Amino acid sequence: MARAIVHTELGSPDVLRLVEVPDPVAGPGEVVVRIEAAGVNPIDAKQRSGIRPLPPIVEPRRVGFDGAGVITQLGDGVTGLGVGDRVAIHDTRGTYATALAVPVRNLARLSDGVTTAEGASIGIPAGTAYQSLRSLHVRKGDTLLVHAGSGAVGQAAVQFAVLWGARVVATASPERHDQVRALGGIPVAYGDGLIDRVREAAPDGVTVALDCAGTDEAIRTSLELVADRERIATIVRGPDAADFGIRAFSGGSPVPLTDEEKGWRSEAVPLTINLIEAGDFQVELGPELPLAEAAHAHELIEQHAAYGKIVLVP
Ligand SMILES: NC(=O)c1ccc[n+]([C@@H]2O[C@H](COP(=O)([O-])OP(=O)(O)OC[C@H]3O[C@@H](n4cnc5c(N)ncnc54)[C@H](OP(=O)(O)O)[C@@H]3O)[C@@H](O)[C@H]2O)c1
């Protein structure tokens, strides 16, 4: 039997349970991956608690979208991958588990220079950052403001934008400024006086903004500093982004991602693996917890009580 984290009701982290589940079988176009690490993302906790509503739970709901591990079984029609290959998994429900059947379109091969924990930390953070910056047409000559630049998505956004030649100002708490600086961003503290601090850090102005914080302050600051509202986006305030006249990419937005945007999210995974391998992109890793401690991982992420990406290890 495999083991997986499930929940049958919405609620606090203690609704998560580790249970035995049938061993997965690879269907056509799928492989079975023995999971060695699952990345923990805020959306996992939001869906568990019901903050981001889903259709009612009709059978035990599996958790987790990002992961990494080793292929143990190939389904019909799978070519170009083999048993024993290391892969990163993205956009596949149920990665908090010991094994999972995954469509090959949701896999990217992991190179030797990329650790399993790094591989499990790429899908949602790098995918969201890359797609958001592509959608906002971030390019050389831009000055980008990233709210929550010290978080997983924010750090990815800082790095992509710097690689593309933009100047990046990123908000973070003061103890996280060195981390933002190490990635090439100009850190500013969030909180009272943010607008003045950003103006000081970017005297020539801000041309584009990405909100990964979701606070009123972040929205207000972007509206004040960026002239073109088409170049302001949030990944958190989807439900009310339209009220501010700004864009939203998921995050509860009633407007779904376009096929092109979904394509960018997938494309980001192998691209990020290559950047890590080349030493041009960093993933900040946080605590590694046993799979059985998924509830504790959710407490940590909800309370912002750990720096770096938390991964669960079966
Ligand atoms: N729409 C989408 O598709 C999508 C995809 C991924 C994530 N998200 C959402 O985006 C958000 C960030 O995700 P993540 O994975 O990057 O989270 P994370 O790694 O847990 O980072 C959280 C960040 O929030 C910052 N923060 C905390 N309080 C803040 C405040 N008052 N003002 C400004 N920043 C504050 C933290 O900064 P310090 O640590 O420096 O204090 C940290 O950088 C979450 O709400 C998540 O659900 C949406």
Residues 76 and 153 in one domain: no
The tens digit of pLDDT for each residue in 49-75 reads: 999 989 999 999 999 999 999 999 999
**pLDDT value, residue 246:** 98
**pLDDT value, residue 211:** 98
Residues 83 and 139 in one domain: no
**pLDDT value, residue 126:** 98
Q: Are strands 186-189 and 167-172 parallel, antiparallel or unpaired?
A: parallel
Q: Report the percentage of the chain scoring pLDDT > 90.
A: 100
The residue-averaged pLDDT of 73-96 equals 98
Separation of 290 CA from ligand 1 center, angstroms? Answer: 23
The set of residues, in sequence order, having a beta carbon less than 8 Å from that of 67 and lying 6+ positions away, is 33, 35, 37, 38, 39, 88, 89, 92, 95, 100, 120
Separation of 147 CA from ligand 1 center, angstroms? Answer: 8
Residues 236 and 288 in one domain: no
- Pairwise CA distance, residues 266 & 128, whole Å: 9
CB distance 215 to ligand 1 below 6 Å: yes
The residue-averaged pLDDT of 19-27 equals 98
Instruction: Mark which of 230, 248, 266 sits at the end of a domain.
Output: 248
Nearest CA to ligand 1 atom 10: 212
Residues 52 and 135 in one domain: no
Q: Which atom of ligand 1 is nearest to the CA of 153?
A: 16
The residue-averaged pLDDT of 284-304 equals 98
For residue 154, what pLDDT band results from cuts at 50, 70 and 90? very high
CB distance 41 to ligand 1 below 6 Å: yes
Q: What is the CATH number of the domain that holds 86?
A: 3.90.180.10
Q: What is the CATH number of the domain that holds 150?
A: 3.40.50.720
CB 138 within 8 A of CB 165: no
The residue-averaged pLDDT of 250-257 equals 96
Separation of 148 CA from ligand 1 center, angstroms? Answer: 6
CB distance 226 to ligand 1 below 6 Å: no
Classify residue 227: in a domain, yes or no.
Answer: yes
Residues 7 and 117 in one domain: yes
Classify residue 265: in a domain, yes or no.
Answer: no
The set of residues, in sequence order, having a beta carbon less than 8 Å from that of 119 and lying 6+ positions away, is 37, 68, 86, 87, 88, 110, 273
Residues 114 and 68 in one domain: yes
Separation of 167 CA from ligand 1 center, angstroms? Answer: 21
Classify residue 146: in a domain, yes or no.
Answer: yes
The tens digit of pLDDT for each residue in 208-253 reads: 999 999 999 999 999 999 999 999 999 999 999 999 999 999 999 9
Domain count of the fold of the chain: 2
**pLDDT value, residue 60:** 97
Residues 88 and 118 in one domain: yes
Instruction: Mark which of 201, 229, 248 sits at the end of a domain.
Output: 248
Residues 106 and 153 in one domain: no
**pLDDT value, residue 171:** 98
Classify residue 37: in a domain, yes or no.
Answer: yes
**pLDDT value, residue 219:** 98
- Pairwise CA distance, residues 9 & 188, whole Å: 40
Residues 147 and 105 in one domain: no
Residues 238 and 301 in one domain: no
Classify residue 278: in a domain, yes or no.
Answer: no
CB distance 153 to ligand 1 below 6 Å: yes
The residue-averaged pLDDT of 131-154 equals 98
**pLDDT value, residue 284:** 98
Classify residue 168: in a domain, yes or no.
Answer: yes
Nearest CA to ligand 1 atom 42: 151
Classify residue 158: in a domain, yes or no.
Answer: yes
Classify residue 60: in a domain, yes or no.
Answer: yes
Tell me the sheet residues that pair with 145.
169, 209
- Could you list the residue range(s) of the whole structural domain that residue 291 is in? 2-122+283-313
Residues 143 and 218 in one domain: yes
**pLDDT value, residue 240:** 96
The tens digit of pLDDT for each residue in 163-183 reads: 999 999 999 999 999 999 999
Residues 158 and 214 in one domain: yes
Tell me the sheet residues that pair with 20.
3
Instruction: Mark which of 248, 267, 299 sits at the end of a domain.
Output: 248
Q: Report the percentage of the chain scoring pLDDT > 70.
A: 100
CB distance 173 to ligand 1 below 6 Å: yes
